[in-house]
Amino acid sequence: MRYSKAAKKAPLAFAGGSAFEYPEGSMGVELLVSKEKIEEAVGSLADKIRKDYAGRRPLLIGCLTGSFVFMADLVRKIGIPVECDFMKVSSYESRTTPGELRLLLDHMLPVENRDVIIVEDIVDTGASLSFVRERIAARRPSSLASCVLLYKDSPRSKLKEEDIEYLGLSIPDLFVVGYGIDFAQRHRELPYIGVVEEGGAKT
């Protein structure tokens, strides 16, 4: 499913509905993907994984930190036994410029002869996901797939949509936050995906 930039202004609010006022001069966030559309996309991904891995116990490896909310919801909806682990790769040095990739946290559970699904919140350049895939593939899993919530339609991307086995939503090339995705550790708590307004990230 593809999304264009929405015109609607979204209040800064927690999932429970309570509003929160950030200090004057902080960044603004414009609604792009609603909470309901996210739930629909996660449910659809979970249904596909449940069908494809019936009778098996896949190992889900989440890419920290942005995927933690997505992975938690996905695991609850899949409805079959799974195991969970995490990896963390550092790639962003600034809002717009990716830095050199560094592995900060490796997975702990063995992947050899396992069915492995990498869970990623968003693909921008695709460099982080490619890095993780190559590292896990070298450890000889029985199968390897990627489950991505958001794919940015960007000329920078090294991955095409068809390279991702389980893809939730395709979005424009915009800087987004919410649903676990942050800017400078802010806005992870938003229950929707929003666009950071121009000039709003200079605080």
Catalytic residue among 85, 106, 124, 182: 124
In angstroms, rounded to a whole number, what is the distance separating the alpha carbons of residues 59 and 68?
Answer: 15
**Diameter over CA atoms, the chain:** 53
In angstroms, rounded to a whole number, what is the distance separating the alpha carbons of residues 194 and 7?
Answer: 11
- Give the residue among 193, 184, 143 at the shortest CA–CA distance from 39: 193
| Helix 35-52 / helix 68-78 crossing angle, nearest 10 deg | 50
Residue 103's H or E segment, with its range, is strand 98-105
121 is catalytic: no
What are the DSSP calls for 181-198, one per residue? B-BTTBSTT-SSEEEEPT
In angstroms, rounded to a whole number, what is the distance separating the alpha carbons of residues 36 and 16?
Answer: 14
Q: Which amino acid is at 41?
A: A
Q: Cis omega before residue 125 (within 30°)? A: no
CA distances from 198 to 29, 87, 95, 182 (A): 10, 31, 12, 16
Report the catalytic residues: 124
